[in-house]
Amino acid sequence: MAMHYLIDSKRQWVSLTAEGGVTRADVDAYLEAVLGAGALEYRKLFDWRAGTPEMDFPEVMSVLALVRSHHDRPHGPLAVVLSEQQRQSEKLARVLGILLSAPRPMRVFSGPRAAKRWLESNPAPMPRH
**Does the pLDDT at position 100 exceed 70?**
no
- The dihedral built from the CA positions of residue 104, 70, 52 and 5, taken in this order, carries a sign that is positive
Domain ranges across the chain: 3-120
Question: What's the mean pLDDT when you consider all of the chain?
Answer: 86
Task: Indicate the fold that domain 3-120 takes in CATH.
Answer: Transcription Regulator spoIIAA (3.30.750)
Q: pLDDT for 42-92, tens place per residue?
A: 999 999 999 888 888 888 888 888 888 887 888 889 999 988 877 777 666
Alpha-carbon gap, residue 63 to 9, rounded angstroms:
25
Strands 3-8 and 78-81: unpaired
Q: What is the reported pTM?
A: 0.85
